[in-house]
């Protein structure tokens, strides 16, 4: 265990000024936390112990709102290469950089995971929720980083497990664990192993709903990976006839299960799918191809439906998210429901599935219009809402 120096004032000020926009904002939701600070301090200490300056070139994976990215810029990095799966996170990082460090934004660029891993030498990583996602990230980093690369991966202790150390140890020669500070910890991994085992992702699975079979083909960062969410299954089992609609907007498409099933069962239908997650978009496109409906399905990264004008969609489907990162919150569901309300044409329909205990039916009525229950089992409720 290593000790880590206390924070200095400037970064504290920078972190306080960070905004979550365009992500959900609420008094109990923050743009930076003690883990971000500990990642930066552990990296700084590791360099100073070896008489090295803060690195000019730095790789950042999974930053949420810019704490790691702007922290690295403020400390003097001249090449900050960032990968974040979420478009919402990328927009927040860009907005914060524009507002708080406008003179340094030309030092910042965004890449796919494979691109950012290439020749990475100092890597700051905000630990993800899932071990599979961590392994996917670490596999990409360890196989393409420099032989002397150092990875500083941190999180809140309540969201960390010993299995995370094992994931890192399976791909790096050495892993050190920092002391806890402000309920956070950093795992420092160094020297990627020359031999890397393949990641288990993308995963594939075949599902059958009401006699229609389809393949899912998904990355670890996609909600549920290649599994069919039980709520989504209930929605598909009770999907109404969509003959009156030319296009289905599959909001927060995840692995593409709703769009692919709808396209297979309605041969005239075009599907306009989107998700904030790059992994989800790639999974949806892979599922469309595997089920030979690519010519009728598009999938793009979007924050809610920001690309769609008001009153432009006659039919939207949504299985709303219930968390942002590690924080469980209904606010993200309401953000997507409100944007669906904006994008729907008057008389347009939102088909939605949610955990029954969440009682979203009232919110759908209040935020969009008359809502009827299409199905309900012991866990989930499926509704149809018409915009007034």
Rounded Cα gap, residues 289 and 346, in angstroms = 33
* Residue 121 DSSP SS3: coil
Nearer to ligand SAM, 18 or 149 (CB): 18
Q: Residue 325, interface with ligand SAM (CB under 6 A)?
A: no
The answer to whether the beta carbons of residues 296 and 262 sit under 8 Å apart is no
Task: Please name which of 215, 350, 227 lies closest in space to residue 294, comparing C-alpha atoms.
Answer: 215
Helices (H), the chain: 9-17, 34-49, 67-74, 87-100, 113-117, 131-144, 162-169, 230-237, 257-265, 278-290, 331-343, 360-367
Q: Please report whether residue 293 would count as binding ligand SAM according to CB under 6 A.
A: no
Q: Report in angstroms how near the CB of residue 47 gets to ligand SAM at its nearest.
A: 35
Position among 20, 245, 270, 276 found at the interface with ligand SAM (CB under 6 A)? 276
Q: Which is nearer to ligand SAM, 188 or 291 (CB)?
A: 291
Shortest reach from residue 369's CB to ligand SAM, in Å: 22
Q: Which stretch binds ligand SAM (CB under 6 A): 60-68, 188-196, 205-213, 252-260?
A: 252-260
Q: Which is nearer to ligand SAM, 135 or 303 (CB)?
A: 303
In DSSP terms, 70 is beta-bridged to none
Q: Which residues contact 240 (CB under 8 A, 6 or more apart)?
A: 351, 374, 384
Instruction: Tell me how many residues contact ligand SAM (CB under 6 A).
Output: 20
Q: Which residue has the tokens 């003179």?
A: 103
Among 201, 223, 354, 360, binds ligand SAM (CB under 6 A): 223
Among the listed residues 62, 202, 321, 348, the single contact to ligand SAM using CB under 6 A: 321
Both structure tokens of 300: 């793009």
Percent helix / strand / coil, the chain, rounded to 5:
35, 30, 35
Cβ of residue 200: shortest distance to ligand SAM, in angstroms? Answer: 19
Residue 88 engages ligand SAM in binding (rule: CB under 6 A):
yes
Among 256, 243, 227, 229, residue whose Cα is nearest residue 317: 256
Structure tokens at 193: 């192993």
CB 291 within 8 A of CB 262: no
Binding flag, residue 340, ligand SAM (CB under 6 A): no
Cβ neighbours around 264 below 10 Å, total: 17
Angle at 255 between CA 36 and CA 299, to 5 degrees: 90
Site membership for ligand SAM, residue 280 (CB under 6 A): yes
Applying CB under 6 A, which of residues 18, 125, 332, 382 lies at the interface with ligand SAM? 332
Q: Does 297 interact with ligand SAM (rule: CB under 6 A)?
A: no
CB of 95 to ligand SAM, least distance (A): 14
Site for ligand SAM (CB under 6 A): which residue of 135, 229, 272, 363?
229
Binding residues among 254-273 for ligand SAM as defined by CB under 6 A: 254-255, 257-258
- Using the rule CB under 6 A, is 41 a contact of ligand SAM? no
The interface region with ligand SAM, picked from 71-79, 121-129, 181-189, 275-283 by CB under 6 A, is 275-283
C-beta of 87 vs 142, nearer to ligand SAM: 87
The region that residue 14 occupies, defined by phi over 0 for left and psi between -120 and 50 for alpha, beta otherwise, is alpha
Give the residue nearest to ligand SAM (CB). Answer: 254
Binding site residues, ligand SAM, CB under 6 A: 88, 223-224, 229, 232, 252-255, 257-258, 275-277, 280, 303-304, 319, 321, 332
């Amino acid at each position: 265990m290593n000790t880590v120096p206390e924070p200095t004032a400037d970064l504290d000020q920078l972190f306080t000024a960070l905004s979550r926009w365009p992500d959900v904002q609420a008094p109990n939701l923050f743009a930076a936390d003690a883990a971000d600070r500990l990642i930066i301090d552990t990296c700084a200490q590791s360099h100073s112990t070896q008489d090295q300056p803060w690195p000019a070139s730095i790789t950042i994976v999974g930053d949420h709102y810019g704490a790691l990215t702007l922290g690295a810029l403020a400390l003097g990095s001249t090449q900050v290469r960032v990968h974040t799966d979420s478009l919402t996170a990328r927009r927040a990082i860009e907005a914060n950089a524009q507002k708080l460090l406008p003179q340094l934004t030309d030092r910042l660029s965004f890449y796919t995971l494979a691109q950012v891993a290439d020749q990475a030498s100092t890597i700051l990583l905000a630990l993800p929720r899932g071990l599979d996602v961590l392994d996917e990230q670490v596999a990409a980093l360890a196989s393409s980083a420099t032989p002397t690369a150092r990875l500083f991966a941190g999180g809140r202790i309540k969201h960390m497990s010993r299995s995370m150390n094992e994931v890192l140890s399976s791909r790096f020669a050495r892993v050190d664990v920092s002391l806890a500070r402000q309920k956070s910890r950093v795992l420092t991994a160094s020297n990627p192993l020359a031999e890397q085992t393949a990641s288990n992702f993308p995963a594939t699975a075949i599902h059958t709903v009401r006699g229609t079979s389809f393949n899912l083909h998904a990355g670890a960062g996609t909600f549920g990976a290649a599994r069919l969410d039980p709520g989504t299954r209930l929605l598909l089992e009770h999907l109404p006839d969509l003959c009156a609609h030319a296009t289905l907007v599959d909001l927060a498409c995840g692995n593409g299960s709703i769009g692919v099933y709808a396209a297979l069962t309605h041969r005239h239908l075009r599907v306009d799918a989107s998700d904030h997650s790059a992994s989800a978009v790639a999974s949806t496109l892979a599922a469309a191809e595997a089920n030979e409906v690519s010519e009728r399905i598009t999938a793009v990264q979007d924050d809610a439906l920001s690309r769609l004008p008001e009153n432009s969609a006659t039919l939207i489907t949504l299985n709303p998210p219930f968390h942002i990162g590690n924080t469980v919150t209904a606010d993200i569901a309401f953000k997507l429901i409100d944007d669906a309300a904006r994008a729907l044409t008057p008389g347009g329909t939102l088909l939605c599935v949610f955990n029954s205990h969440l009682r979203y039916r009232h919110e759908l009525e209040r935020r969009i219009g008359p809502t009827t229950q299409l199905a309900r089992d012991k866990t989930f409720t499926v509704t149809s809402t018409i915009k007034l």
